Amino acid sequence: MNEQQVVITGLGAVTPIGIGVKAFCEGLETGRNGIAKVTQFDVTDFRSKLAAEVKEFQAVEWIDKKSAKRMDRFTHFGIAASAMAMEDAGLESFSFDKNRAGVIIGSGIGGSKTIEDGYSTLQENGPNSLNPFFVSKLLINMAACMVSIKYGLKGPLSAPSVACSTGSNAIGDAFRILQRGDADIMLAGSSEASINPLPFGCFCATRSMTANDNPENACRPFDKNRDGFVMGEGAGIAVLENKQHALKRGAKIYAELVGYGNTADAYHFTAPEPNSDGMIRVMQAALRDADLEVEKIGYINAHGTSTVLNDKCESAAIIKVFGDYAKSLKVSSIKSMIGHLMAGAGSVEFVSTVMSVFTGKIPPTINYKEPDADCPLDYVTNVAESLDLNAAMSNSFGFGGGNACLIVKKYEDIN
């Protein structure tokens, strides 16, 4: 069976530095810092005090008020980003076969605020006081399901949950569906809204989040003095489409999705494998899938969490995969600006990577001051750079050892 070519025709993003792709990209290019003291609850007794919150988001701009009350914040984000992507792709006003259009939107924690509220209600007022809509608010698959319902999309539907690699896995799974010819259009990505006391406190307990209370240097991937990640929230959605289907309807094409890799460390529930084996194999798998030589990759949107181990291991893995060419690669981590969106990270970083290939603008790693001998690559630091990119890679590595890698190639209209 011949594999179908897959292109990106629409993008949507809800992020701590901008709602909508235009605002998000402007924030990236100017090095906007979306990290500040948590405002959603009192962090006085928490080890970490900072987060990258989505500000000025109004769910009722995307969802009617009654329905919005029956959904958790992560579902609000997913619907909003999907609506942006659908509009961007020109699909809200275009007639297409909805039996051949599907949705894959994942989440790591789902409705954590709903869970906390529900437990409080149960403890205070007993089981008969629980609202039946708690169920539809807390389930991880609700963002995907509500988007499917909103647009009447009756093709493949799923909601992966693979910690921090969730978004990249969702996009990769949708990519495979389109390659097989099982759909014409897929909305794919992830959403997370876990800046709530319980998940925030749990990650504080792992000591993987920074205790630094200065937003200007709290998140500094690849810097020698990095000491942990900053939790963020948000959603990223891409419209992936069969190339011939997109051309037939005259769609705008941002780029081509050409490679996907997925591996497991099978090592530890939080720490990356010390020899970076899983990271190495996932990048190699994506390159094989894309049928690209390493020299064709000009930029890597790194997972770059600002933790000591992750940044060291990822840098080592890039050097192993790319060899002598590694020193010619541009590498950056947008987590320095938006924090770690947890399951939302991979999809928002994919949106950023697609836009880098489309516009030739590489976002910086801000807050970078002191080089680390364990991270010896050519990081784009503090100021965005311009580069004509043939192809770019986006890495995602999750707790539990799940690794995902996506490769985006510049679209060339040769038809």
Identity of residue 226: R
| CB of 11 closer than 8 Å to CB of 239 | yes
How many CA atoms are closer than 13 Å to the CA of 265, on its beta-carbon side?
Answer: 25
Q: Are strands 391-398 and 297-301 parallel, antiparallel or unpaired?
A: parallel
Q: Nearest to residue 218, comparing CAs of 52, 28, 39?
A: 52
| Adjacent-strand bridge partners of 330 | 299
| CB of 211 closer than 8 Å to CB of 47 | yes
Q: Nearest to residue 159, comparing CAs of 138, 182, 180, 179?
A: 138
| CB of 13 closer than 8 Å to CB of 351 | yes
List residues with catalytic annotation: 164, 303, 340
| Adjacent-strand bridge partners of 375 | 372
CB atoms within 10 A of CB 329: 20
| CB of 367 closer than 8 Å to CB of 406 | no
Compute the distance between CA of residue 344 and CA of residue 15 in angstroms, rounded to an integer.
Answer: 9
Residue with tokens 């990640």: 229
